[in-house]
């Protein structure tokens, strides 16, 4: 924390006081140095050597204001001004005392290396600075254990090592520093219990020890640090209770303890004597009992936070009349009774949410105050509702539309305006929130509530704008804003029809630097919990960790049950992570968007209620016009009934799909494809031909005409539309619409001009697939599959991952095509089929042999595909030596002989060796025989991108050693089709010939009956 003299608002006085103490204590310790500008004084030579060694180890250079190579104790090192010593331009800095030996010898008394991102450990040479009384090395990247020898610096009064990367416990030797008056160890990585030797530290005035992993009970001896003015123990893992000895700390002006989960409960009895407090935070610390009336005796108190405890009884009226109090947080307790009828003018922010308060709201309630009274049992009148609109919907019973639901979904762009990504409407959620504030939409469809104040942060900002820099998503507009909260952020769905829903939460960490940057700022951690309907669904959720880095999109899906017509999503900061990195007061939950959709067909209208004042006029108009309109409709329907009957039946099947896909008329598509002219035919697959078409608006599309002779009926067609419509990703071919006309079934896709990957790799297309392009194709395909497996709703197994199902757009960005063979599967279940559908050579062994289908089947296919991209050859190829015919076998041979780079396509004149090796090793992991040994696609993405280490490959797949590779042309070719056309939307291929034209090129496991084996691949390409 930079110590700067500047004007602060009342609640930042802790820093002002800290600065004051430092100035006084520092000045006192240096007052004997008034005659420092002695020209004959020199620095102790042993200290010069030690300082030079320390600076060399930390790769430091002294500023121009003093000369380390000549006389260190010169220039600003002799200043008596604390502000000059702390000046940012004077960094690193030392301070000297030259009063020794008749002012002929100087000793170094202060060392400051602040915010320079220096690495390494604290070197033992620091012991050669025995007069050191000030050591400040905050905001660097120092690591390793905190050395015990620091306890030998007996003169040390200030030790400030916050925001570093240390590890291990606090050395008990620190307790030897009996002159220590300031200990600043926030966010420095230490853990374990506070040593008993700290009982010796009777001079302590300021202790900040938050955001670490300290355990055990808070020691009783802390109550003997009677000179203490500031104590912070937030964000650790302490056990209760808070020691009653704290009543001795009568000099305290700031006490912050947070997040005690285990141990005994605490009472507030110890607070009675702490009459100098201005800042009292005891949040989530197992407090019980009543709110004592003697709190009013704390006449300097400005902020009181006792939220998330189990306090009972009524609120003392004297609490609301304290003339100093500005912020009051009592939410999430068990308080009862009414709200005090009077309030001081200074009290501006009040959180009483989630208690059992009742009665009428007092007359002082007005819209200029920050008030959160959500989830109580208040009796509200029309005046209250005007001042706090929507509060009637957010009482404990959530009465709005109770037993009379009106809605079945809602989607919010958190902190941002209304947007329509991929045709889905996300409502604006950008009204102002504050430390105690709630908003209910005018339609009473949803609401949001916040409780908490960002500590030590001047700008209380509850929305973050990231400028659209988020990656790994095809809907970056969803992540342009994020809603922030310092403590508790809740979203509510109101008036929902009861049933099962899918809740999808969208996240991206946009406020922190990458963790690999090596800066102290990269130590920042945003950690919070997610509750849905009161059940914790994510614990210690870290966005950047889960997403594989900052500025990366990630979403999480949850199934939840709505039983009382309302839904609650709660994002809660439990003190974990960091709170002062990369800047003060930067912590708490963050969310970019929310989508809630039903897992059933809704029966509600979804239409907001009408304005009551308009109802009478509406009824009058309806009474006059309905008979006339009814008669007209009868005549109209009589005329068109026969004509539209069949079309209505076809259209009816689309009603259950949300969002409803765009529809085309058959005549429109017929014109676009020139009556499905053979000249526009792109190819033909198992479900029918694909044609290139040009719509009337000039768009070029691919029209998939499903064959009537196929087994795909109307229901299957609708299922396919629903599946494809539900998944939208930049690396998936986009469905533009469909057509149902009588027995005709057509799907309309985007058209990909560069055809399929197999044509680019092995065909006659003149495409330049250099190494960056190939690597991007592989990584982007992996991202598309990861989306299908883990993010899309419903989750999807493609089942036929291969080069001909990867299409390339104008800039060679890959898109996965052909979901016609994909099967949906439920969470935590697998799908067993008696007939495998896929392509020989890409099929995982467990799927080909037993029909066992999980997402790991796609992982296997991806591994084969990755090897094809690297090598530039198909998975089996007869025009090479016998030991290289089968790509998988050849790749493993090269791996065993440490010759992996020999696998690369000879056409690649340049390549990135690290990327190539990483890609090959990931591919070998993907083609492991056991599904459990194959990584999930999200981990594949992380390994390819270099965000996580590639797991070592040690086991050669059993199918390579067990299978008997031999020519079975005589048996297999007689029963198999030699070429099966590809069914993809972007290829202009007129011929049905495939690059791999002969089925006998494929490896066949010898124990399997050939005809049965052929049948298992019968759906093929």
Mean pLDDT across 715-732: 70
What does each C-alpha distance from 453 to 492, 573, 581 come to in angstroms?
21, 12, 16
Helix (H, G, I), strand (E, B) or coil at 386: helix
User: 543 or 969: which carries more pLDDT confidence?
Assistant: 543
Banded model confidence at residue 739, pLDDT cuts 50, 70, 90: confident
Mean pLDDT across 170-177: 97
Residue 915, both tokens? 């990327």
Mean pLDDT across 119-142: 96
pLDDT of 883 over the 90 cut? no
Residues with a known catalytic role: 800
pLDDT of 833 over the 80 cut? no
Q: What is the pLDDT of residues 554-564, one digit of tens each?
A: 999 999 999 99
pLDDT of 827 over the 50 cut? no
Q: Say if strands 377-379 and 356-360 run parallel, antiparallel, or are unpaired.
A: parallel
Question: In angstroms, rounded to a whole number, what is the distance separating the alpha carbons of residues 595 and 919?
Answer: 35
pLDDT of 316 over the 90 cut? yes
Res 513: pLDDT: 75
Banded model confidence at residue 549, pLDDT cuts 50, 70, 90: confident
Helix (H, G, I), strand (E, B) or coil at 630: helix
Owner of token pair 């974990």: 576
Res 829: pLDDT: 40
Report the 10 Å Cβ neighbour count for 461: 12
Q: Which long-range contacts (CB under 8 A, 24 or more apart) does 415-422 make?
A: 415/462, 415/463, 415/464, 415/481, 415/482, 415/483, 415/484, 415/592, 416/463, 416/480, 416/481, 419/477, 419/478, 421/475, 421/477, 421/478, 422/474, 422/475, 422/728
Gyration radius of the chain's alpha carbons: 35
Mean pLDDT across 574-584: 85
Question: In angstroms, rounded to a whole number, what is the distance separating the alpha carbons of residues 983 and 691?
Answer: 11
Helix (H, G, I), strand (E, B) or coil at 351: strand
Report the 10 Å Cβ neighbour count for 272: 13
Q: What is the pLDDT of residues 101-123, one digit of tens each?
A: 999 999 999 999 999 999 999 99
Cα 78 to chain centroid, rounded: 49
Res 976: pLDDT: 31
Banded model confidence at residue 461, pLDDT cuts 50, 70, 90: confident
Owner of token pair 């090592």: 161
Report the alpha-carbon angle 763-766-771, nearest 5.
90
Banded model confidence at residue 629, pLDDT cuts 50, 70, 90: low
* Domains of the chain, start order: 290-388 (3.80.10.10), 394-598 (2.60.120.430), 629-751 (3.30.200.20), 828-981+989-1016 (1.10.510.10)
Residue 347, both tokens? 């009290």
Task: Tell me the three-class secondary structure of 643-691, residue by residue.
Answer: HHHHHHHHHHCCCCCCCCCCECCHHHHHHHCCCCCHHHEEEEECCEEEE
Q: Say if strands 499-508 and 553-562 run parallel, antiparallel, or are unpaired.
A: antiparallel
Banded model confidence at residue 737, pLDDT cuts 50, 70, 90: confident
Range of 578-587, 602-611, 981-990 with top mean pLDDT: 578-587
Half-sphere exposure of 221 (CA within 13 A, CB side): 12
Banded model confidence at residue 633, pLDDT cuts 50, 70, 90: low
Banded model confidence at residue 204, pLDDT cuts 50, 70, 90: very high
């Amino acid at each position: 924390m930079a110590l700067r003299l500047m004007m602060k608002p009342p609640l930042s006085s802790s820093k002002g006081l800290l600065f004051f103490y430092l100035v006084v204590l520092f000045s006192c310790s240096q007052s004997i140095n008034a005659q420092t500008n002695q020209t004959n004084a020199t620095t102790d030579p042993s200290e010069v050597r030690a300082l030079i060694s320390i600076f060399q180890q930390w790769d430091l250079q002294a500023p121009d204001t003093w000369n380390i190579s000549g006389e260190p104790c010169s220039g600003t090192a002799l200043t008596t001004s604390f502000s000059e010593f702390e000046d940012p331009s004077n960094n690193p800095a030392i301070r000297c005392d030259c009063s020794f030996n008749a002012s002929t010898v100087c000793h170094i008394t202060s060392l400051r290396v602040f915010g320079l991102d220096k690495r390494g450990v604290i070197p033992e040479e620091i012991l050669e600075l025995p007069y050191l009384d000030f050591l400040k090395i905050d905001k660097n990247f120092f690591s390793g254990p905190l050395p015990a020898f620091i306890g030998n610096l007996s003169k040390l009064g200030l030790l400030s090592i916050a925001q570093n990367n240390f590890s291990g416990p606090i050395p008990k030797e620190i307790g030897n520093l009996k002159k220590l008056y300031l200990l600043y160890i926030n966010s420095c990585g230490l853990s374990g219990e506070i040593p008993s030797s700290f009982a010796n530290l009777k001079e302590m005035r300021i202790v900040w020890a938050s955001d670490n992993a300290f355990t055990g009970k808070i020691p009783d001896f802390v109550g003997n640090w009677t000179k203490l003015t500031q104590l912070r123990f937030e964000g650790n893992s302490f056990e209760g209770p808070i020691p009653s000895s704290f009543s001795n700390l009568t000099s305290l002006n700031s006490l912050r303890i947070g997040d005690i989960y285990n141990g005994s409960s605490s009472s507030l009895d110890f607070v009675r004597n702490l009459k100098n407090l201005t800042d009292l935070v005891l949040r989530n610390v197992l407090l019980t009992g009543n709110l004592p009336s003697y709190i009013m005796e704390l006449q300097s108190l400005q902020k009181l936070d006792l939220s998330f405890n189990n306090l009972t009884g009524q609120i003392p009226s004297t609490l609301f009349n304290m003339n100093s109090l500005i912020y009051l947080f009592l939410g999430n307790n068990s308080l009862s009774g009414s709200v005090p009828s009077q309030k001081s003018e200074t009290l501006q922010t009040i959180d009483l949410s989630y208690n059992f308060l009742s009665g009428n709201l007092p007359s002082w309630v007005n819209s200029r105050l920050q008030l959160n009274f959500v989830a109580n049992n208040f009796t509200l009148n029309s005046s209250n509702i005007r001042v706090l609109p929507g509060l009637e919907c957010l009482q404990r019973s959530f009465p709005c539309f109770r037993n009379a639901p009106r809605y079945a979904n809602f989607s919010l762009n958190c902190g941002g305006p209304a947007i329509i990504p991929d045709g889905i409407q996300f409502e604006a959620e950008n009204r102002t929130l504050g430390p105690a504030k709630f908003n209910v939409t005018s339609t009473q469809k949803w609401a949001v509530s916040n409780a908490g104040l960002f500590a030590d942060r001047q700008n209380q900002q509850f929305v973050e704008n990231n400028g659209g820099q988020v990656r790994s998503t095809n809907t970056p507009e969803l992540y342009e804003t994020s809603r922030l909260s310092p403590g508790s952020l809740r979203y509510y769905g109101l008036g929902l029809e009861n049933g099962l829903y899918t809740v999808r939460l969208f996240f991206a960490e946009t406020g922190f630097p990458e963790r690999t940057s090596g800066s102290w700022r990269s130590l920042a951690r945003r950690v919070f919990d997610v509750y849905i309907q009161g059940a914790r669904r994510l614990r210690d959720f870290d966005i950047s960790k889960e997403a594989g880095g900052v500025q990366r999109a990630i979403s999480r899906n949850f199934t939840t049950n709505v039983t009382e017509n309302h839904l609650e999503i709660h994002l809660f900061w439990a003190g974990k992570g960091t709170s002062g990195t990369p800047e003060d007061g930067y912590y708490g939950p963050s969310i970019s968007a929310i989508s809630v959709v039903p897992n059933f067909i809704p029966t509600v209208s979804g239409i907001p209620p009408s304005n009551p004042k308009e109802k009478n006029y509406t009824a009058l108009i309806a009474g006059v016009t309905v008979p006339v309109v009814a008669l007209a409709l009868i005549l109209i329907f009589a005329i068109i009934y026969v004509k539209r009957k069949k079309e209505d039946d076809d259209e009816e099947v689309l009603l259950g799909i949300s969002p409803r896909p765009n529809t085309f008329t058959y005549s429109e598509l017929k014109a676009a494809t020139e009556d499905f002219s053979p000249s526009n035919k792109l190819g033909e697959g198992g479900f029918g031909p694909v044609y290139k078409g040009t719509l009337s608006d000039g768009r070029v599309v691919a029209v998939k005409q499903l064959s009537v002779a196929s087994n795909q009926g109307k229901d299957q067609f609708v299922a396919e539309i629903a599946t494809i419509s539900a998944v939208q990703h930049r690396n998936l071919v986009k469905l533009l619409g469909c057509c149902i006309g009588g027995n005709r079934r057509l799907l309309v896709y985007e058209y990909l001009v560069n055809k399929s990957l197999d044509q680019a790799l092995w065909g006659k297309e003149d495409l330049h697939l250099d190494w960056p392009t190939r690597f991007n194709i592989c990584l982007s395909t992996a991202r598309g599959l990861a989306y299908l497996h883990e993010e899309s709703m419903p989750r999807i197994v493609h089942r036929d991952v291969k080069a001909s199902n990867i299409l390339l757009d104008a800039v060679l960005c890959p898109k996965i095509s052909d979901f016609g063979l994909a099967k949906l599967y439920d969470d935590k279940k697998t799908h067993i089929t008696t007939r495998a559908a896929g392509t020989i050579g890409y099929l995982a062994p467990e799927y080909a042999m037993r029909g066992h289908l999980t997402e790991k089947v796609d992982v296997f296919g991806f591994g084969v595909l990755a090897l094809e991209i690297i090598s530039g050859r198909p998975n089996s190829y007869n025009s090479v030596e016998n030991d290289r015919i089968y790509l998988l076998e050849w790749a493993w041979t090269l791996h065993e002989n440490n010759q992996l780079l020999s696998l690369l396509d000879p056409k690649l004149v340049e390549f990135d060796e690290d990327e190539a090796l990483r890609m090959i090793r990931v591919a070998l992991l993907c083609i492991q025989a056991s599904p459990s040994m194959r990584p999930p696609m999200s981990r594949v993405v992380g390994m390819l991108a270099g965000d996580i280490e590639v797991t070592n490959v040690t086991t050669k797949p059993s199918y390579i050693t067990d299978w008997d590779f031999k020519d079975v042309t005589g048996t297999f070719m007689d029963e198999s089709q030699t070429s099966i056309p590809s069914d993809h939307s972007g290829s202009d291929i007129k011929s049905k010939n495939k690059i791999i034209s002969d089925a006998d090129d494929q490896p066949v496991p010898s124990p399997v009956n050939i005809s049965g084996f052929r049948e298992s691949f019968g759906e093929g390409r």
